[in-house]
Each structure stands twice: as structure tokens, then as C-alpha cells.
Amino acid sequence: MKYFSPLFPFIAGWLLLLASESFSALSLVNGFLQLVLFAFVVCLPIALTGRLSYVDIGWPWGLVLIGVLTFLFAEGELIRVALVSMAYIFAGGRMGIGALKMWQTGFLKRELPRYEYQKKRWLAAGKSNTKLIMQVEGILQGLANASFLAMPAFIIASNTSATISPLEIIGAVIWLAAFIMESVADKQKHTFLLAMRRSGERHSVCNIGLWRYSRHPNYFAEWMVWNGLIIASLPSWFALYQSESTCIWVLLGAGLVYLSRMMYTTLVYYTGAVPAEYYSAQKRPAYRAYQATTNRFFPGPQKPSPPP
């Protein structure tokens, strides 16, 4: 049971969508296609290679799938449907193309550090059957795409009102600003690493641009991308009160809150900041000083260096 218990919240989230009046058919199709996608793109390569890093290909292309299905089958107001579909397709496509480039260049022939860190966690928790837990992890990511990660798209695209709410505008602005911030942060990091590689300084700490204000501005921006979608979902969620039972309506609202918490936990503790810093502190002598002066997640001014 300890191997399969992480799946339960995501199974519950998918069952919630399947039980709703508004999303049952679309969620059934999405869930089935997500599991097919992950079976061939994630679970099979994991079984053949013993590397969990293929999740980084399946997860973003699963977001693209959500966007495409939403555009094709959602019955809400057309502009709203198109915008939320494009949000998923652009965000997922950006990460998915990057993951395919890593695979094409052979970067995925070794396990990514964050997944090596996961294996250490599993062993510490007494989960010694690595082959099984890796498959469970792959399925978990597919179920996340079938459940909570699909909720904002489905909820927004169900709204038939032609009136745009201020909350939708605020959410869209946050999404766009965060998407740009994430792209800029990734570009700055890539440029820095290339410059350091050319100069032979392979273990320098990236503290330029956005990285001066947060040790993980890309992860913070990714979290805000989802918060923007959640905020934009609220008017459409309120509208669902007329068509869903009170219980399902409340649980869908709770699902949106859980999505924000889930993404924060993932991006900080699960496969984000904490695993990345575990290895950075070992490889980069100056990284501990960077940790002492720069916020881990939320951007802010640099703190004074501690006395020697």
C-alpha cells in the first residue's frame, strides 16, 4: 500500500471530474489519452532504461493534450475556450520542445539530478522496490494531468457567458507575466551556463538577472502560471453553481485550491528547489553563500552576506 498511496489524491480528483455534470465526458477522454500517452512516452522508457527523467517529456505534452481537447470539445464561449486552450498549448509546448531537445541530444541518457534525489528519498522511506515506485511515479504524473491540472482548463472553457470578468483579466495578466518571467529566467540561466562553459568556469553560481532575487525564479514563475489560471477560473467556477450539485461544486473549488498547494509543494520540495540545491551545494563552492543572501523561492531583495 505504501507504494500506491501517492496515487489516491489524483484518482480522487479524476473521479470528481468524472462525477460532474459538466466535465464527465471530456474528463473520460482526457484521462484515457493521458494514460495512453504516459504508458508509451514515460512508463515504457522507464522500464527499458531505469530512468525516471522521461516524465519531463510526458508531463508537458500532456498539458498540450489538455489544451487540444479543451479547444476541440469544450462548449463554452469561443474566445474564452481558445484563450485557455492556447495557454495550455503554449506552456506545455515550450517545456515539451525543450524536453525533446534534451532527449535528442542525449541529455536523458543519464538520470536528471532531481530524480536521483527522489530515489534517495524512496530508500530513506523504506521503498526499496525502485522499479515499481518509478512506474507508480510515472502513472501519478499522468493522473495529475487527468485530474487537478486539467481543472482550470475545463472550468474556464465551460463558461458560456460573453461577459469577461475582472478576475479573468487579472488571472490572464498574471499568467502572461509569469509565462514571460519563466521564459526569461530559463534564457538567462542558459546564457550564463554557456558563458561559464566557454570560460572554463563550470561550477560558478548563476546570480544574474532574475536569479539575483530568487534562487529559483523559474519555479516561482511556473507556480504563478498556475495561480493565474486558478484566479481566471473563479468566475466560471461560480457559474457552475447553477449546473452542479453543491457537493461537486464545493469539491471543484477545493480542487483548485489543492492545485496551487500541490504545485507549490512540487516546485519547492518534491522535484524542484530542494533536490536542485542538494546537488548545487555539493558541486558549487559559492552556492552556500548564494543561499545565505538570496531567497529560495519568492523573489525579494538580496540579504546582507553573513559575517565570516
**CB-based contacts of 32-36 (< 8 A; 24+ apart in sequence):** 33/65, 33/69, 34/62, 34/65, 34/142, 34/143, 34/145, 34/146, 35/139, 35/142, 35/143, 35/146
CB neighbour burial string for 125-154, b if at least 16 within 10 angstroms, e if fewer: eeeeeeeebbbbbbbbbbbbbbbbbbbbbb
> What percentage of the chain's residues is helix, strand, coil (to nearest 5)?
75, 0, 25
Could you report how far apart the first and last alpha carbons of the chain are, in Å?
Answer: 49
Q: Residue 42 falls within a domain, yes or no?
A: yes
Q: Residue 78 falls within a domain, yes or no?
A: yes
Q: Residue 300 falls within a domain, yes or no?
A: no
Residue 212 class from Cβ within 10 Å (0-12 exposed, 13-18 middle, 19+ buried)? middle
Q: C-alpha grid cell for residue 113?
A: 539530478
Domain, as residue range, for 128: 5-293
Alpha-carbon distance of 213 to 207, in angstroms, equals 8
**What local confidence, expressed as pLDDT, does residue 76 receive?**
95
Q: Residue 307 falls within a domain, yes or no?
A: no
**What local confidence, expressed as pLDDT, does residue 308 receive?**
61
Q: Provide block-wise average pLDDT over 10 residues at a time, the chain (308 residues).
A: 90 98 97 97 96 95 98 95 97 94 89 90 89 94 97 98 96 97 95 88 89 97 98 98 96 98 96 92 90 95 77
Q: Residue 190 falls within a domain, yes or no?
A: yes
Q: Residue 283 falls within a domain, yes or no?
A: yes
Q: Residue 157 falls within a domain, yes or no?
A: yes
**What local confidence, expressed as pLDDT, does residue 107 receive?**
84
Place of cell 490572464: 172
H helices of 147-214, in order, are 151-156, 166-199
Which 8-state DSSP code applies to residue 149? G
Q: C-alpha grid cell for residue 197?
A: 562553459
Which 8-state DSSP code applies to residue 267? I
Global pTM? 0.94
The total number of structural domains in the chain stands at: 1
Q: Residue 140 falls within a domain, yes or no?
A: yes
C-alpha count within 13 angstroms, C-beta hemisphere, residue 245: 8
Place of cell 536521483: 116
